[in-house]
Amino acid sequence: MKKLILLFSAVVGASAAHAQLDLPQPSPAASVSQVVGLTEIKIEYSAPGVKGRKIFGELLPYNELWRTGANGCTKISFSTPIQLAGNEVPAGTYSIFTIPGENEWTFILNKNYNQSGTSSYKQEEDALRIQVKAATCQERERLNFQIADFDENGGNIVMEWATTRISIPFTVATDAMAMKNIDDAIKGSWRNYANGARYLLDHDGDMHVALDYITQADKINPDSWFVIWIKAQIQYKLNDKKGALNSAKRAHELGMKNVDGFFWKSQVEKALNDWK
């Protein structure tokens, strides 16, 4: 029994000696992900701290290549093609490098995204190299990336650290991708025709195309107040006031047959009053 106890103690002691010690990292892992329109942008990086040091121009000398983070290189992924500062960039994953300057930085996307630092960087593998103005920001202790000031069609990729900020504008072809998705999906489905027409209506698209879509939806499902109300709004935008009023009357008549599901009743009735 004593031998068994001693053996058990030895095993437990050996396991404890080899247990991993979990402590805070000097440059913890961080990430930011944002869907802009139909495009997902994701940035993965390690966030070093200022820790009382002068960062740019001292710890990181001006005009020297920087991996733009700590530990492994910072990665950025685009789920669809994108334009950065007017430059076409294919969908995919890239590493981010920069060359800090006192007033202007070089921002680089490199096709090799599995690099650990600048030692294996090769300029011939660059996918993009642009100049960006440096700006000041409120003191930020840790390196931070953001997808800022975005709407459905674009925004800014922002990096801040210490009191320095750089911002790279981007745009995405949301409307073109949406139209392709609509064209691919609508075949034979009244709901997809209707949703496609509504998208064009809400986004100031081609109202003649929208009218064609909603007409197809009406042919497939002629008893939908939802379809006819969308048609009425499209006709009104096309300045067909008489047709719009007649469609609104029809939408109201159909909707009142199932008043509990007539969730745009007040809008239709307002149109009936305003479009007379």
Last residue of a domain, one of 126, 146, 171: 171
Question: Which one is predicted more confidently, 23 or 41?
Answer: 41
Assigned domain for 264 exists: yes
Q: Are 246 and 270 in contact (CB under 8 A)?
A: no
On whether both 43 and 127 belong to a single domain, the answer is yes
Residue range 76-92, pLDDT digits in tens: 999 999 999 999 999 99
On whether both 149 and 92 belong to a single domain, the answer is yes
* 92 phi-psi bin (left φ>0, alpha ψ -120 to 50, beta other): left
On whether both 60 and 135 belong to a single domain, the answer is yes
Distance CA 49, CA 126 (A): 28
Cα maximum dimension of the chain: 100
Give Cα separations from 273 to 248, 249, 266, 268, 270 (angstroms): 10, 10, 11, 9, 5
Assigned domain for 57 exists: yes
Distance CA 190, CA 266 (A): 24
User: What is residue 261's DSSP assignment?
Assistant: G
On whether both 208 and 239 belong to a single domain, the answer is yes
On whether both 163 and 28 belong to a single domain, the answer is yes
On whether both 185 and 54 belong to a single domain, the answer is no
User: What is residue 65's DSSP assignment?
Assistant: -
Of 106-110, 159-163, 179-183, where does mean pLDDT reach its minimum? 179-183
On whether both 127 and 240 belong to a single domain, the answer is no
On whether both 53 and 66 belong to a single domain, the answer is yes
Percent of the chain beyond pLDDT 90? 77
On whether both 206 and 225 belong to a single domain, the answer is yes
Residue range 186-231, pLDDT digits in tens: 776 888 899 999 999 999 999 999 999 999 999 989 899 999 999 9
Full residue range of the structural domain in which residue 187 is found: 174-274
Assigned domain for 159 exists: yes
On whether both 135 and 185 belong to a single domain, the answer is no
Nearest to residue 266, comparing CAs of 215, 218, 228, 229?
229
Percent of the chain beyond pLDDT 70? 92
Domain count, the chain: 2
The residues that bridge with 44 in the sheet, in sequence order, are 31, 75
Reply yes or no on whether the pLDDT at 99 is more than 70.
Answer: yes
